[in-house]
Every structure is written in C-alpha cells, then in structure tokens.
C-alpha cells in the first residue's frame, strides 16, 4: 500500500466539510482553502499541480487545462452528485479518478423538490413575501388561491435515485406519476406504479407538474426551451432542482409572464448566483432558492464523508466507493 502520509490533498472549501477534513488529516497531508468563495483559478491550478488528490465543489472547473498541468494528481472527489464541472473524458485520459456522491443525498433532494412544488403551487413563498411587504391587511384568501398538489399528475424527467425518491413522496399525495428517461426503468414501474412516456413531448402535455432530475450533459442542456414550455398546460408548473442550464431562462420568463405556464420553482438557475435584477425575480409566481436541495446538515456531512472515503480509496489503492471512471487506471 502506498505511504499515505506523503500524499497531499487540497480541499477547495474548508467550512463545508470540517468533519471529513479532520478525518482525512489522520492519514494524509491536507491543505484547505478557508474562504467561503472558490479559490481563484490561478490558485486552484497551482494547488492541482502540487496535489495528489482534491476535493472539489460544483463551481470548481476541472478541465484539460488543469489536468495537463497536474501529473501528480490521482483523484478528484467532487462533493456533489452532478459532475458537469469536471471533464470526465479528459480526467480518464490523464489517469485521474473522479468520484461523486450518489446514494446519500437523494432523499434530501426529494424532500426539497416537494417543498418547492408545494411552495409555488400553494403560494407559500408568495404569501410570506406579501406579509413581509406589509400587504396582509384583511382576511382574504382569494389572491392566494393555489393549485392542489394531491391528486395531480407529476411528470418526472430523469428517473435516477432522486426521481425515484420523488415518486415515493408523490404516492403519499395520491399523484399520478409519469416519467421520461433515456433508459426505461421497468423495476421502478413495477414497484411504484409509474408510467413511462417514450416521448418527452407527451409528458409535458400531460403533466400538472414537471420536475427535472437529469444530470447536465450536452444532451440535457436546454432540454426545456420555448418549444417544450409551449407544450405544457397553462395551469402547470415547472420544478428544477438539477442544474440551471437544463432550462432556457429567457423562454421560461416569457412562458410564466404570458401565462403559458402557471409558475416555476427553481433551486438552480443559469447563471448562478442569479443576478438581483434578473427578470425571473420580478415574477410573483416564480420561487427561487439558492441551490440548496441537498443541503441538510446530515446530508452535507454524509457527502463529506463519502468524498473523504473516495480520496483515501484512490490514494491507498483500495476501493473507491463511488468512482465514476475506474477505467482511468489503464492510463496511470
């Protein structure tokens, strides 16, 4: 087994995963970036050159430029399930193992998806905003009449662990669930009674709520644009907890503004953070949160533990719990 104490690991945010950092420090030499924002690119590149492993956040870009300069680097453990900040093909070609954090955050993300759905459909956030603006002056429910979530049709795009966890919650709300996914999931259909739609257009036309659960890839970039929003019903809502660029924000603004759809709830935006003067923020029937679907204390701690286990696995040559490119070994 390689001598671990000589290995250097750079963590791009100290404050997010202190327990994982403490546990890593027992076996490897850990350096941390202690500011709350990401290290500047030049610092990140230098640290990549000097490190055997890195723990990254979704805003840290791991691309060919970085990998070309980092011959010592063996592992990048992303503290996220999504990996669109990492060029996996290049990492593999450079013999760098990449890991993510599946299996520990799907329940928290599914809770949050329901929170967003209820919030936008039942005007929870809108009501709160109006109260803080000093606008609750009389007992009058009519400006806040919402749409029922129970009994509605939920269309899920992308049926991975998070999508499946959303389905389980939808069952308790007596919802009909339909889904579109590149790979059909007969097991989920059988166990949870969901129906597959081979054509995403049909799902969009049929759903009262459309919820996105696909990773961001070239294929899913702007998977929801003007045409797709036009297929949705005027009483329907779009929920996005995956990545902002899956939705065309200009088209979404127009669709909500003109009543093409009833509203949207977004935990992710394009760009992030969303600028204060973004037109979407002017729409009362849009709820936006700052990319926090997985952010419960317990889940963030588990994500940290998993990244640390992946780093130790890679650097010690033992198993990595969630390596996405084991084939990188052939290029080391």
* 98 SS3 class: strand
- Please give the C-alpha separations between residue 177 and each of 188, 193, 277, 303, 314, in angstroms, as whole numbers: 11, 8, 36, 29, 40
Shortest distance in whole angstroms from residue 306 CB to ligand GLV:
11
Cα of 204 vs its chain's centroid, Å: 21
Q: 51 or 240: whose CB is closer to ligand GLV?
A: 240
Q: 147 or 296: whose CB is closer to ligand GLV?
A: 296
Shortest distance in whole angstroms from residue 212 CB to ligand GLV:
12
Q: Which of 243, 301, 327, 332 is catalytic?
A: 243
Crossing angle of the two packed helices 124-132 and 106-121, in degrees rounded to 10: 60
* 250 SS3 class: helix
User: Residues in the site for ligand GLV, rule: CB under 6 A?
Assistant: 58, 80-82, 105, 294
Instruction: State the distance between the two ends of the chain, measured CA to CA, in whole angstroms.
Output: 16
* 137 SS3 class: coil
User: Does the active-site annotation cover 272?
Assistant: yes
Q: 82 or 155: whose CB is closer to ligand GLV?
A: 82
Are 179 and 157 spatial neighbours (Cβ–Cβ below 8 Å)? yes
Q: DSSP class of residue 33?
A: -
Q: Cα(251)–Cα(268) distance, rounded to whole angstroms? A: 16
Q: 60 or 208: whose CB is closer to ligand GLV?
A: 60
Q: Which of 272, 305, 327, 332 is catalytic?
A: 272
Q: 254 or 305: whose CB is closer to ligand GLV?
A: 305
Sign of torsion over alpha carbons 304, 45, 42, 81: negative
Q: 80 or 288: whose CB is closer to ligand GLV?
A: 80
Shortest distance in whole angstroms from residue 82 CB to ligand GLV:
3
Are 203 and 155 spatial neighbours (Cβ–Cβ below 8 Å)? yes
Shortest distance in whole angstroms from residue 21 CB to ligand GLV:
19
Q: Cα(232)–Cα(241) distance, rounded to whole angstroms? A: 18
Shortest distance in whole angstroms from residue 14 CB to ligand GLV:
19
Question: What is the enclosing helix (H) or strand (E) of 241?
Answer: none
User: Does the active-site annotation cover 15?
Assistant: no
Shortest distance in whole angstroms from residue 4 CB to ligand GLV:
27
User: Does the active-site annotation cover 94?
Assistant: no
- Beta-bridged to residue 209, according to DSSP, are 154, 237
- Please give the C-alpha separations between residue 230 and each of 29, 182, 222, 266, in angstroms, as whole numbers: 54, 22, 14, 18
Shortest distance in whole angstroms from residue 294 CB to ligand GLV:
5
Q: Cα(232)–Cα(250) distance, rounded to whole angstroms? A: 16
Q: Which of 223, 229, 230 is nearest to 270 (CA)?
A: 223
User: In this structure, what token pair is assigned to residue 315?
Assistant: 């650097």
Q: Which of 291, 305, 327, 332 is catalytic?
A: 291
Q: Known catalytic residues?
A: 243, 272, 291
């Amino acid at each position: 087994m390689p001598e671990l104490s000589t290995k250097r690991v750079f963590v791009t945010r100290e404050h997010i995963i202190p327990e994982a950092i403490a546990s890593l420090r027992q076996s490897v030499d850990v350096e941390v970036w202690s500011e709350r924002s990401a290290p500047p690119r030049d610092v990140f590149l230098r640290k990549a050159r000097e490190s055997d492993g890195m723990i990254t956040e979704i805003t840290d870009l791991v691309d060919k430029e970085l990998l070309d300069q980092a011959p010592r680097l063996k592992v990048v453990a992303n503290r996220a399930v999504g990996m669109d900040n990492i060029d996996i093909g290049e990492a593999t070609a450079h013999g760098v193992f990449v890991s993510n954090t599946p299996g520990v955050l799907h329940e928290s993300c599914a809770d949050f998806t329901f929170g967003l759905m209820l919030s936008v459909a039942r005007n929870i956030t809108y009501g709160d905003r109006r109260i803080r603006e000093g606008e609750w002056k009389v007992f009058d429910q009519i400006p806040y009449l919402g749409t029922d979530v129970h009994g509605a049709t939920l269309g899920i795009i992308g049926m991975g662990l998070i999508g499946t966890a959303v389905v389980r919650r939808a069952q308790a709300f007596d919802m009909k669930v339909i889904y579109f996914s590149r790979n059909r999931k007969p097991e989920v259909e059988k166990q949870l009674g969901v129906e597959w739609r081979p054509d995403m257009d049909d799902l969009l036309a049929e759903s009262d709520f459309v919820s996105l659960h696909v990773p961001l890839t070239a294929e899913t970039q702007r998977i929801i644009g003007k045409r797709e929003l036009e297929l949705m019903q005027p009483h329907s809502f779009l929920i996005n907890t995956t990545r902002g660029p899956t939705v065309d924000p200009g088209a979404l603004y127009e669709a909500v503004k003109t009543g093409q759809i009833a509203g949207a709830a977004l935990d992710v935006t394009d760009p992030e953070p969303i600028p204060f003067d973004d037109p979407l923020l002017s729409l009362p029937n849009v709820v936006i949160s700052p990319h926090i679907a997985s952010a419960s204390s317990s889940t963030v701690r588990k994500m940290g533990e998993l990244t640390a286990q992946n780093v130790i696995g890679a650097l010690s040559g033992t198993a990595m719990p969630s390596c996405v490119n084991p084939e990188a070994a052939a290029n080391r």
